Amino acid sequence: MKRIGIITSGGDCGGLNGVIKGAAGMAHSHGATCFVIPSGYAGLYNLVDFDKLTELTPERLDKIDANLAGSEAGHSRVKIKKIDDAEKYQRIKKGMEKFKLDGLIISGGDDSGSVLVDLTEHGIKCVHAPKTMDMDLQTYSVGADSSINRIASFIEDLKTTANTHRRILVLEVFGRYVGHTAFRGGVAADADAVIIPEIPCDFDILYKHMKERYFSRMLNSDVRTGTYMIVVAEGIKNASGADIVDENSAPDAFGHKRLAGAGDYVCQQLTKRLKADPEIKNLMKKAELFVKGISEIPEVRAVAPGHLVRCGHSSAYDVNFGKEVGAAAFILLNQGISGVTVAGISNGKIRYIETKEAIKQKFVDTHQVAIYEALGTCFGRTPEEIHTKAEKLNHAAERHW
């Protein structure tokens, strides 16, 4: 392997520039060269039309800041299989031949990984550096830690405005149909409740928890202040079991409609219960908040930070992990191994699994949820009994999330 193309694909997140620097740096140390294929799979499909590619020389690599989130290589959401071109795979191969590329290092999530499996089946040598802030692959993925840290930071920041206005605040975060980022970010910032797709929400249980905790804080405060913070994953279902989506948006190349409105839906459910609860009027009066016709129930508001959770700066963990899996991806390609996903480097060994296995969706472990229910966090259900057993390890535990 002398000439490698680097692609970043799917959604942006922290740690991707670390992948690029790790892959190109390791290639250089082996006397090989890496080139940026810009704009994800769109760039790969159009590679044959490029006049030149940017070579990641040590000098060019030095200009990339690994701490910045996003990707120097750029992204697109393109599913190669869906391109209306019978010669699309030959076109890609011709583009690689034009620039004498021996293989590809591709950093992306489950959708991007499915394309990598497709490319591998058509004889294109690829290695997958796992990337998704949703953390729903079978391996740890670049970007998750950065986004979780940003979510936790936003929750802490929003407590100031929520306390000032005595509001109940609902923070809606990315994650599609898994709740890892909502769960971990919410727990880290001491959110009162976390609503995730893996656990259907009983809004009566959530309401009871909110009512008790919110008014307890208000009535025990010498300045009558308090708030209640809820973190909700965008992929929760509504009462009929349907996705909450933006009906005005068209599906992307992978068939996903834009999820939107989960935070507003939670607000509606809680506000409806506040208005119907006969005890709220007296509780508001005890808190000296009641004003007839103006301030009769606590205000419930939704905030959606959106792309703010995946931009800005990367966490140190993601930069480290990105550099390691980028470097490992080159080593695997150089050893003739392709069609696989790097899981990490541990004890001098590069650990990898078949990409078709790596992209199978991983959900939140409800045994972990039960631990935090015991600590007082509400997950919209009756708290489950903790089922944990003590286990002595006879060897050093492998690093994992």
Among residues 318, 282, 276, the alpha carbon closest in space to that of 20 is found at: 318
Tokens of 217: 């804080």
At position 380, the amino acid (one-letter code) is G
Among residues 134, 177, 4, 107, the alpha carbon closest in space to that of 355 is found at: 107
Tell me the β-bridge partners of 334.
none
Cα–Cα distance for residue pair 227/97, rounded to 1 Å: 60
Helix H, strand E, coil C: the string for 112-153 is HHHHHHHHHHCCCCEEEEEECCCCCCCCCCECHHHHHHHHHH
Among residues 145, 137, 193, 153, the alpha carbon closest in space to that of 375 is found at: 193
Residue listed under structure tokens 């979510």: 151
Cα–Cα distance for residue pair 7/74, rounded to 1 Å: 8
At position 308, the amino acid (one-letter code) is L
**Residue 229, C-beta contacts closer than 8 angstroms, at least 6 positions apart:** 155, 158, 159, 162, 169, 171, 186, 189, 190, 191, 192, 193
Residue listed under structure tokens 């003739």: 336
Among candidate residues 12, 65, 110, 134, the one labeled active-site is 134
Tokens of 211: 């009512």
DSSP per-residue string spanning 304-370:
--GGGGSSSB--HHHHHHHHHHHHHHHHHHHTT--SEEEEEEETTEEEEEEHHHHTS-----HHHHH
21 phi/psi in degrees, rounded to 5 = -70, -35
391 phi/psi in degrees, rounded to 5 = -140, 125
Cα–Cα distance for residue pair 181/185, rounded to 1 Å: 6
Cα–Cα distance for residue pair 189/309, rounded to 1 Å: 14
Cα–Cα distance for residue pair 342/351, rounded to 1 Å: 6
Cα–Cα distance for residue pair 351/237, rounded to 1 Å: 36
Active site residue 134: yes
Which residues have a catalytic role annotated? 134
